[in-house]
Structure 1
Amino acid sequence: MAGATELPEKGTKCLLTVNIPKPPSISPATEAEIETAATAEKGTPLSPTARLFLQPKFNCHIIVILGFAKIIAADEMKAGLQATLVRHPRFSSVQVSQNSRKDIPRWVPTKVNLDDHLFYPELGPAAAVSASDHAAGDRFVEDYATTLCQTPLDPSRPLWDLHFLSVRTTEAAAGVAIFRIHHSLGDGISLMSLLLACTRKTSDLESLPTLPEARRRPAAAAAGVGAWVFLFWLWNFVVYAWNSLAGSLLYVASTFFLKDTRTPISGSEGVEFRPKRFVHRIVSLDDVKAIKCAMGCTINDVLLGVTSAALSRYLSRIYGGHLPQSLRIRTSLLVNIRPTSGINALADMMKKGSDARWGNRLGYMLLRFPVMMCEDPLDYVRKGKEVAEKKKNSWEAIFTYTSGLLIVKCLGFKVVTAMCHRIISNTTLSFSNVVGPTEEVSLFGSPLIYIAPSVYGHPQALSIHFQSYQNKLTVAMAVDELAIPDPHRLLDDVAQSLQLIKDAATARS
């Protein structure tokens, strides 16, 4: 379906009109199909978290925007998907539920028709405009992704689709793919690992990507021997227990009465049902590492500090330079509490068609962003590190996960759904940092330029996700334009805050 293209006058906001290709008609599986599938394969029950992501107020989807150096033809894309992703049990199963209210929906294998999942829309004049005006291509991709939020996935088929747009953007020379996956299929870390398991090093098309090694914490034995080891262990236990107790009490308080300060970036009633705008900016990962080395902290600490500084700049401008004191702005940080299957294991699983540990096993952490005006830009990183350190040394995520399971058993699924919705609604934004490959990788023969993951369908007006890839860091945002009408300005604040903190760290070192 051709997309209409209009070149506006200077200063206007919308540049291109987007027409999403009409998906196959959505129709639930017939009773005969369900019965046949259930007879052939009983399937695997959905986890509580997967069921949560299917609720109307938590109908969460993950969107990953991929920039490519060359176009992948439809036949090549189908062959690649058939050999990799389609072999994964979750991407080749439908969610089947019996009529009984107590029945838990199950994953039932089905035959995947890639024509129902892969879209190459006819862009018409839009492609020609983007060839000479790359900014127009950027806006077209943003508009297309926003329109996808209003186009539901077909529940009678596996809950994912892939749209390839042959438009040139500021970073992507050939085209952009928008990969949409329902969050019930898995948590963000596992899904990103699965995506990377479909790629290969550009320098060696037989090799899987290389990820940075996680830095391990010093073992207790480093404290000494004998009684000193015991004291070191006891002290760590007390610290973890205290931080976990404090975090758990705040979690309970946030369920009933503790809310973030109402600010212009807070979501309003019904924000989970409104479409989001997806924007991103690529910054230097080397700058982040330089700050990390100068400050003796982690990359996560730096990103917390940069985000705090950016939010402070953005809100200060809205408040006319007079930022209110003691703003409570928190993120409901989702934490994967299960060891993730490595890229090699996932690639092996798709190769052999076997099952593996998968799904959603997520706990919450409520993390406060220090929003304030600082004369020394490094104070944002110091404050971020202080806040993050308490969360690292706690079992808060395990507590929230296990308490959720307990509430499901004792009070029912509706109660835990209402609680989770209330907690997330009482916080301001979602935040994550995902580690990517250290070298260039290719997807089905085409080099990837950038990876920009995001999410929609949750009751917040702002999501900020950081994704590393080679020596680049993509800052991806999903915003409700009623709350944040100028998301690119907020991206500018992130980039400028990073530069100011890097300059201060360099001068200090």
Structure 2
Amino acid sequence: MEVLKCIKLKADVEDPIRNDEEGLPLSPMARLFHKPDSSIYIIVMVGMKTEMNPEVIKASLVHTFLQQPRFCSLHVKDETVKGGLKWVNKKEVDLDKHVIVPMLDPNNIESPDKFVEEYTSNLSKTGIKMSMPMRDLHLLNLRTSDAESVAVFRVHHSLGDGVSLMSYFLTCTRKTCNPEEPPTILIIQKVNPSKSSGRFRGKFIKSWLAIVLFWNTLVDVVMFLAMALSILHDTKTPLKGSVDA
């Protein structure tokens, strides 16, 4: 039997890059992602049920992503800090440079799915200048087979990994039934319907595995001692050479 267990998210997320820590050096892993052969971007595609309004999204970003110093900071070269790169918080961020809304004509696009795929593929081949926070959002108001519109979020891997970025993304969302409450994630938890019989069976299996482990360990120790005392010898095989060789 399987039941759903709720995981509640916290609305506030602490970040090591705070305004009072400006000039903090980048971590070794973050510096690695700035190497020419290791410059990696994380690209996330989100399908929407309705057509997106860029102005509404920009207004929302002011109260979400722009409140996170890491997404408003620059990677500045400084030889006086360890690794030569440090975080510098940018006080003002121009959202028009980070929210890209290409002009699309659905009548001239034969396959919207293929267009979105090629558009996303091209984003992985280009980069974001270090003179601006290294993330951007592309809003494609184009109907595909799965969604009415598609949002493509691109962020440099030095800002975080997939787990941390997804966790922060979820904290920026709210429930439709309660706009003030963060979302709740449901996970599947297996429950044994017959607890009494399952408990006895589990103990029996654990006991048997412990006995087998003890026996195998004892045999290995005896074999090792026998080999060390030359009581037993290695098995002769075609791959085993002679002593003279």
Q: Shared topology, TM-score over 0.5?
A: yes
Query: Relative CO higher for 1 or 2, CA cutoff 8 Å, sep ≥ 6?
Result: 2
Deviation at 1:202, TM superposition (A): 2.8
Partner of 1:150: 125
In the alignment, the residues of structure 1 paired with residue 187 and residue 142 of structure 2 have an alpha-carbon distance, to the nearest angstrom, of 35
Cα displacement (A) at 1:214: 7.7
8 Å Cα contact 1:41-1:109 kept in structure 2: no
SS at match of 1:62: strand
Q: 1:109 to 1:101 in 2, by over 3 A?
A: closer
Question: Residues 25 and 81 of structure 2 are in contact (CA less than 8 Å); yes or no, is this contact kept in structure 1?
Answer: no
Distance 1:169 1:66 in 2: 12
Contact 1:60 1:182 (C-alpha < 8 Å) held by counterparts: yes
Amino acid at match of 1:147: N
Question: Where does structure 1 differ by over 3 angstroms across 4 or more consecutive aligned residues?
Answer: 99-104, 213-216
1:78-477 to 2 correspondence within 5 Å? Answer: 78-99=58-79, 103-110=83-90, 111-124=92-105, 127-129=106-108, 136-173=111-148, 175-213=149-187
CA separation in 2, counterparts of 1:208 and 1:102?
38
1:102 and 1:41 map into 2 onto residues whose CA distance is 15
- Change in CA separation of 1:82 and 1:101 when aligned onto 2, cut-off 3 Å: closer
| Cα distance in 1 between the residues matched to 2:108 and 2:181 | 37
Query: Is 1:75 matched up with 2:49?
Result: no
TM-fit CA distance, 1:103 = 4.3
Task: Tell me how far 1:102 sits from its aligned partner.
Answer: 5.2
Q: Give the corresponding residue for 1:286.
A: none
* SS of aligned partner of 2:174: strand
Deviation at 1:71, TM superposition (A): 2.0
Structure richer in helix, relative to its length: 1
Instruction: Evaluate the alpha carbon distance shift between residue 101 and residue 47 of structure 1 in structure 2; reply closer, same or farther with a 3 A threshold.
Output: closer
One-letter code aligned to 2:117: E
For 1:148 and 1:198, the matched residues in 2 are separated by: 24
Cα distance in 1 for partners of 2:172, 2:82 equals 37
SS at match of 1:64: strand
Contact 2:139 2:152 in 1 (8 A): yes
Aligned residues between the structures: 178
- 2: distance between equivalents of 1:71 and 1:85? 21
Aligned equivalent of 2:220: none
AA aligned to 1:69 is K
Alignment partner of 1:53 is 2:28 = no
Question: Greater CA deviation, 144-153 or 98-107?
Answer: 98-107
**d(CA) in 2 for partners of 1:103, 1:49:** 11
Contact (CA 8 Å) 2:28, 2:83: kept in 1 or not?
Answer: no
Q: Which ranges of structure 2 fall in alignment gaps of 5 or more residues?
A: 1-19, 191-198, 201-205, 214-245
Alignment check: 8 A CA contact 2:72 2:89 kept = yes
What is the aligned partner in structure 2 of residue 471 from structure 1?
none
AA at the equivalent of 1:83: H
Matched-pair contact (CA < 8 Å) for 2:136–2:154:
yes
Structure 1 101/75 Cα, relative in aligned 2: closer, same or farther at 3 Å? closer
State whether residues 200 and 207 of structure 1, in contact with CA within 8 Å, keep that contact through their aligned partners in structure 2. Answer: yes
Please state whether the residue corresponding to 1:80 is helix, strand or coil.
helix
Letter in 2 for 1:184: S
Tell me the CA shift for residue 101 of structure 1: 8.6
Aligned partner letter, 1:144: Y
Post-superposition offset of 1:188: 0.4
Shift, 1:53, TM fit? 1.4
Letter in 2 for 1:166: N
* Secondary structure of 2:44's aligned partner: strand
Evaluate the alpha carbon distance shift between residue 54 and residue 102 of structure 1 in structure 2; reply closer, same or farther with a 3 A threshold.
Answer: same
Change (3 A) 1:201 1:41: closer
RMSD: 2.8
Give the deviation of 1:129 after TM superposition: 4.7
- TM-superposed CA distance for 1:51, in Å, is 1.2
Q: Which amino acid aligns with 1:128?
A: N
After TM superposition, give the deviation of residue 215 of structure 1 in Å. 5.7
Deviation of the 1:58 alpha carbon: 1.1
Match of 2:13 in 1: none
Q: How many percent identity over aligned positions?
A: 42
1:210–1:47 CA distance, 2 compared to 1 (3 A): same
Instruction: State TM-score, norm by structure 2.
Output: 0.65
Alpha-carbon displacement from aligned partner over 1:152-179 (angstroms, at most 9, x marks no partner): 1011111100000111100102x11110
